[in-house]
Amino acid sequence: MSTTEAPTAANPKTVDSSTLSSSSDRHPVVLAFFSAMLLWFSFLPTDWSWLAWGALVPLFLLIKSQRSRRSIYFGAWTGGMLFWVLSIQWVRLTDSDAWLAWMVMALALSVWWPGFLLLARLSVLRLRIPLMVAAPLIWVGLEFVRAHILTGFPWYYLAHTQHRALPLIQIADMTGALGVSVLIALVNAWLVDLRTVPLLESTPRGDRLARPQLVRALIVLGALGATAGYGTFRIATARFQDGPRLALLQSNLEQSRKTSGDPYQILETYRTLVERALRENKRLDLIVWPETAYPLPYVVRDSQLSDSGFERQARGLDPKRGREFWSDWERDSEFRLQSWTDQIRVPMLVGSTLYDFQASGFAKLNAAILYEPKIKAIQRYAKIHLVPFGEYIPLVNLFPWLTVLTPYRDASIPILSFGTKPAWFELGRFRFATAICFEDTIPHLVRRFFQGQGTKQPDFVLNISNDGWFRGSSEHDIHLAISVFRAIENRVPLARAVNTGVSALVDGNGRVIAALPKITEDVLSVTVPLDDRVALYSEWGDWLGIACLTLTLGLIPAWLLQTVRSRRSA
């Protein structure tokens, strides 16, 4: 199927070329501007999701544009820059000087638009690949790359615009969120073909819909129908069972207060929330704190670490404080949290910064720690995907100036270490995994919680996060929207306890059962709906993204081979 059909016995009806190309002849900056704005309105906070099905049409028109290549790629870059500046504006809220990080991040992300256009034009104009094949393939291949390169930023997928369209996004349990992105890109490409390929053909019996257009329409309608049908079936046949009762604590602490406020006042805030949770529930199986909610140093010392080794690590961390200082905090944190848990007789999962003194060396970790009444064996998980410039600074030893991109100053510049592997928590007869901060936005990372841990999978996933950095912005909303796809991809309920919100419970169909308003202090008490379905995505992972990327990379040698053959024939 070619994008430019040759005349046959049933010739396409003659159509004025200006009618077909008038839109694509508009200045590339104008077309890219419209795509940027339409796509931005498709996402939260506006959430006009229906716009996504046509938002990329202006950009896709540039694939066949006859304008100069310079103007085409410059237009695509300006559109990409505009979209990302608007979408990630919440980055600027992390610090009064964070506008630089905002602009640098937007600039880095903006190159994906001209990059897409370059590969798409190569495919359609040089290799004669149909637009409806090339555009979804390349767009999704690049989304997959964006999820991995430089630790990954899998936000603002096309799929995320459809977080409320539950029947259409159930295919994520087979394809991941990328499958929904393919569908949206396919529809956008079809709309472009409706505009640029003859619609009617002449026959002895009169004009009729051109066969290429009929084939395209059947493909798109078939894909939409099959997707909606599958989604409707999966939703209708889902059977959930009541699981553990959770109290999700949502504090409303500004980041400035968390970093420089009185830690004992902050601790009192959580004591108040815990007491409220106990009053509101006759039975609780777990109380969940947000990320880094415990405001005091949480210290762990390896029993194999000698006193002299402990002293060296302590002085290396702070020359003014020896091992006695850290030993005091070790006893304090263990006694405070364990005695509190024993008193209320309810397990607590606490988010904390963990100072880990091991025989192999010191590590400062972003951790989730499970305390259970009368049980001394403490379970914990350390975050394995750290946020660049927020929790560590890549290449800072080579480029010290990179510190200007962080929201920290001087001694407070982050030095967190990476956790080593995913971990599960055992809670009576239940098992759960915990994703910290933005880890729930990374599909391949959440999937790791379902791999290599024996036969029993996690019954539910928790996300503990501190979104106080982005207080009141659209980041709260898009973060929740993205987590919807993690629930569907693995057919697992997902509960979130978030400082400043949005704390919520999502079932295995991606339905948000309950949620608290952002910028409020409250407790969300929920019963987890257990889901015993098995998801293909949990087993196979990002097979679709890998396939799209592989085929996209294959365009380059195909083009080179074609070029060589053309020169030889000439």
Structural contact between residues 110 and 80, judged by C-beta atoms closer than 8 angstroms: yes
- Name the residue with higher pLDDT: 404 or 266: 266
174-227 pLDDT tens trace: 999 999 999 999 999 999 999 887 777 767 776 777 888 889 999 999 999 999
Q: How far apart are CA 134 and CA 398, in angstroms?
A: 40
Segment 52-72, tens digit of pLDDT: 999 999 999 999 999 999 999
What domains does the chain contain, in order, with CATH numbers?
Answer: 17-237+543-557 (no CATH), 244-294+337-352+366-382+422-532 (3.60.110.10)
9-18, 195-204, 366-375, 481-490: least confidently modelled range: 9-18
Please report the beta strands in 289-360, taking only residues with DSSP state E, as ranges in sequence order. 294-301, 348-358
pLDDT for the residue 415 = 80
State pLDDT tens for residues 403-437.
776 766 655 566 889 999 999 999 999 999 999 99
What pLDDT sits at residue 7?
42
Residue 570: the pLDDT is 66
3-state SS class at 362: strand
454 pLDDT exceeds 70? no
Average pLDDT value for the chain: 91
The per-residue pLDDT for 22 is 53
User: Has residue 334 got a pLDDT over 80?
Assistant: yes
Q: Is the torsion defined by CA of 94, 497, 149, 383 positive or negative?
A: positive
* Plot region of 437 (φ>0 → left; ψ -120 to 50 → alpha; else → beta): left
Distance of CA 77 to the CA centre of its chain: 23
Q: Is 313 helix (H, G, I), strand (E, B) or coil?
A: helix
Minimal CA–CA distance to 249: which of 531, 466, 483? Answer: 466
- Residues 126-159 have pLDDT tens digits of 999 999 999 999 999 999 999 999 789 999 999 9
Asked whether the predicted pLDDT for residue 17 surpasses 60, the reply is no
pLDDT band at 3 (very low <50, low <70, confident <90, very high): very low
What is the share, in percent, of the chain residues with pLDDT greater than 70? 92
